[in-house]
Structure 1
């Protein structure tokens, strides 16, 4: 019989794959629908930044697909090549969402500040955590404490994944409110943009739950090692 935690991990992997596949399918579908106003992702991003009085953020193109992100370190909205140039409902949704993060940064949104403050610690943790987890599993029959240290560090990455959720949902909320107020999309295009952003948000939800499931797996190993030591 499989342990419940193994079943949870397997379900998390399958759900993650299904959500990612659905997200790609949605973006491909909505990328085929041209915006009635004819604006590109780049133009929409620049317009949203201007409307929010943000003049020190650049909109640039980055390689890949679904690689869009906002970088608070150098204040750049990085749009994937397709989103940067496309004039579609999907491009409008993504461009406005990433600008939503820029608005969060400009207005000192507390959850984004908290998330950004965690980044240096996570960068340091990422160097040692995999080593401690692997070594901890191999040394479990002798001592559970290396794995215990790995679990503590991994819990920080899980916390980061959950802190990311309100940041992402808020950015999408800001994006949809702005594109409606500005008249960027028609009602039909709004529905597409909202659906695309919802599936994008689900990838973060699944990632957070998968991280939690993995953390529980390592915790169960640690507790079992303590009982046997």
Structure 2
């Protein structure tokens, strides 16, 4: 359970994350070539969903990059990558609806989202400290080294909790997106199959991150018992 075990977990995590990213890119590439019959752009889609849910205060803005789409709860703004903001593909519309789903979560006080926001400041600190404590523990002999590894494990709990609580936030946003796209007539049920494909692939990236975090925590737990 020494440093070699840590490297092994890191490699496994990289493989899982790489496969998840590959799935997202392939699914997005496929459905970004399929225009939606409604002809609505991602920006128009997000705006329609927001207005239908009484969220006229939430802005929709373009942002540079590819798949850089996100919802900023502090600024109350949905930022869509330029291709999704201006384009009217099934993939772009699906991503826009997903981010609008986060805005709706924020508005209704969806508990997992509030919990994630609450633990983020703690995670931001612990994610920087636990590797340092772990490295010092690995190269420090005796009980003090074990204490440092135990400290790393405790600090990593925050990271693990963040990834675990992120899962229901993302899955719920995707479920909301699918429902609103079909309910509001933005996509037909047939077209929404593309939505499922894109958003399922995206959800797997969060599952991969959570799984990697679980493996790392188990490794730290076993290492602290040496």
TM-score by length of 2: 0.92
**Residue of structure 1 aligned with 2:195, choices 189, 193, 196:** 193
Which residue in the other structure is 2:154 paired with? 152
Which residue in the other structure is 2:26 paired with? 25
Which runs of structure 2 are paired with 1:93-172 in the superposition (5 Å)? 93-141=94-142, 143=144, 144-172=146-174
Relative to structure 1, the CA distance from residue 64 to residue 161 in structure 2 (aligned partners, 3 Å threshold; closer, same or farther) is same
Which residue in the other structure is 2:207 paired with? 205
Q: Which runs of 5+ in 1 are unaligned?
A: 225-229
Deviation for aligned residue 1:10: 4.6
Deviation for aligned residue 1:57: 1.0
Which residue in the other structure is 1:45 paired with? 46
Relative to structure 1, the CA distance from residue 141 to residue 62 in structure 2 (aligned partners, 3 Å threshold; closer, same or farther) is farther
Contact map agreement 2:13 2:212 (CA 8 A) in 1: yes
Instruction: Indicate yes or no: 2:55 matched with 1:54.
Output: yes
Relative to structure 1, the CA distance from residue 70 to residue 84 in structure 2 (aligned partners, 3 Å threshold; closer, same or farther) is same
SS at structure 1 position matched to 2:129: helix
Contact map agreement 1:5 1:216 (CA 8 A) in 2: no
SS at structure 2 position matched to 1:59: strand
**Residue of structure 2 aligned with 1:184, choices 175, 183, 186:** 186
Q: Deviations over 1:122-169 (max 9, x none)?
A: 123234223212212222556211121111011110111000000111
Q: Deviations over 1:60-95 (max 9, x none)?
A: 112221221111111111111211111100011100
The separation in 2 between residues aligned to 1:200 and 1:183, in whole angstroms, is: 23
Contact map agreement 1:6 1:217 (CA 8 A) in 2: no
Relative to structure 1, the CA distance from residue 152 to residue 27 in structure 2 (aligned partners, 3 Å threshold; closer, same or farther) is same
Deviation for aligned residue 1:15: 2.7
Q: Greater shift after overlay, 188-197 or 117-126?
A: 117-126
Deviation for aligned residue 1:6: 7.5
Deviation for aligned residue 1:187: 2.6
TM-score by length of 1: 0.91
How many residue pairs get matched?
Answer: 222
Contact map agreement 1:140 1:147 (CA 8 A) in 2: no
The separation in 1 between residues aligned to 2:188 and 2:20, in whole angstroms, is: 26
Which residue in the other structure is 1:92 paired with? 93
SS at structure 2 position matched to 1:78: strand
